[in-house]
Amino acid sequence: MVNQSTITNGFERSGVVVIGGTTGIGRAIALRLAQADADVIATSRSRDAVASITAELRDCDATTTAATCDVRDRESIEQLCDTAMATLDSIDLLVNSAGTVGTASVLEMSESTFERDIDVCLTGVYRAIQVFGRAMDGGAIVNISSMSADQARENRPAYCAAKSGLNGLTRAAAADLAPDIRVNAVAPGFVKTPLAGDKLDDGSSFRATVDERTPMGRVATPEEIADTVLFLASNGASFMTGEVLTIDGGYDSSAQ
Ligand SMILES: NC(=O)c1ccc[n+]([C@@H]2O[C@H](COP(=O)([O-])OP(=O)(O)OC[C@H]3O[C@@H](n4cnc5c(N)ncnc54)[C@H](OP(=O)(O)O)[C@@H]3O)[C@@H](O)[C@H]2O)c1
């Protein structure tokens, strides 16, 4: 089996910003890119989490800096973009991985929770694409969508709506930014991260149901999602734009 961490994908000294890059999938993406010799800024709202991932990126010899960002605040995204422009030679790749998921039925979910998930998972990505798209000379944007864009998940009305919208935003942005910037998305199935909480813990009944229902018989690792992001960002995907790649171990496509 190929050791993915040895694949460089031609990212040497590429400038990368990963929003929502301090934990889970975003952290794995940031580290994979740094291991592929990119210069990476990984950000979120938490100063401590940003300091921690920034130290890890420095250990990979990436040029980086510690910068917090809240995608609900346009000014904060603009500051991040200014910092990235000052730190990196250029911004070649933006990854939008920030996400929140409120859990309540459509009858019970508060308007503030609904608006928060839409703001983080959809409007925040629009803000970031707009701010960074104006600053980038070319390159790629990869949005982290979800299998929930096309499949109903109980008690996640805002998240499902936001991720459906994100797929549409990905296609629209791809059309607007071509041919200079390619815009694609990945749609993971179940991935063991802090966002998933303890639902996917080994031995939980939900995890057993997911494993049984998934042809690959397990959930994804954050690194497997990161490898697909690296592919979409690489020259190997030079004619791909406006696509949403599902990575779910066959869950969505199987009739089980
Ligand atoms: N885990 C799964 O099964 C799964 C499946 C499909 C799709 N996804 C998607 O994958 C992406 C990453 O999720 P994950 O599972 O890796 O979750 P995670 O570990 O909880 O990571 C979420 C990241 O988003 C950041 N964040 C949250 N609100 C933010 C805001 N307002 N501004 C900036 N950053 C913010 C968090 O940091 P702070 O809280 O410190 O800001 C954290 O870095 C999300 O878009 C999620 O919808 C996950």
- pLDDT digit string, tens, across residues 82-91: 999 999 989 9
Blockwise average pLDDT, block size 10, the chain, 256 residues: 44 96 98 97 98 98 98 98 96 98 98 98 99 97 97 94 98 98 98 91 94 96 97 96 97 83
Task: Decide: 146 in ligand 1 pocket, CB within 6 A.
Answer: yes
Q: What are phi and psi of 206, to 5 degrees?
A: -65, -45
Task: Decide: 118 in ligand 1 pocket, CB within 6 A.
Answer: no
Task: Decide: 71 in ligand 1 pocket, CB within 6 A.
Answer: yes
Q: What is the pLDDT of residue 197?
A: 85
Q: What is the pLDDT of residue 219?
A: 97
CB atoms < 10 A from the CB of 218, how many?
Answer: 12
Q: What is the pLDDT of residue 2?
A: 36
Task: Decide: 20 in ligand 1 pocket, CB within 6 A.
Answer: yes
CB atoms < 10 A from the CB of 6, how many?
Answer: 8
Output the pTM of the full model. Answer: 0.96
- In sequence order, the β-bridge partners of residue 182 are 140
Assess contact for 188 and 133: CB atoms under 8 A. Answer: no
Q: What is the 3-state secondary structure (H, E, C) of 146-175?
A: CHHHCCCCCCCHHHHHHHHHHHHHHHHHHH
Fold annotation for 8-193+222-246: Rossmann fold (3.40.50)
Among 97, 163, 211, the mutation site with the greatest number of ligand 1 atoms within 8 A of its Cβ is 97
Q: What is the pLDDT of residue 171?
A: 98
Instruction: Choose among 244, 130, 226: nearest CA to 181.
Output: 130
Assess contact for 100 and 121: CB atoms under 8 A. Answer: yes
Assess contact for 149 and 190: CB atoms under 8 A. Answer: no
- Give the Cα-Cα-Cα angle 78, 48, 34 (nearest 5 degrees): 70
Q: What is the pLDDT of residue 256?
A: 60
Span from the CA of 23 to the centroid of ligand 1 (angstroms): 7
Known catalytic residues? 159
Span from the CA of 98 to the centroid of ligand 1 (angstroms): 4
State in Å, rounded, how far the first CA of the chain is from the last one: 28
- In sequence order, the β-bridge partners of residue 38 are none
Which atom of ligand 1 sits closest to the CA of residue 219?
3
Domain parsing of the chain, residue ranges:
8-193+222-246
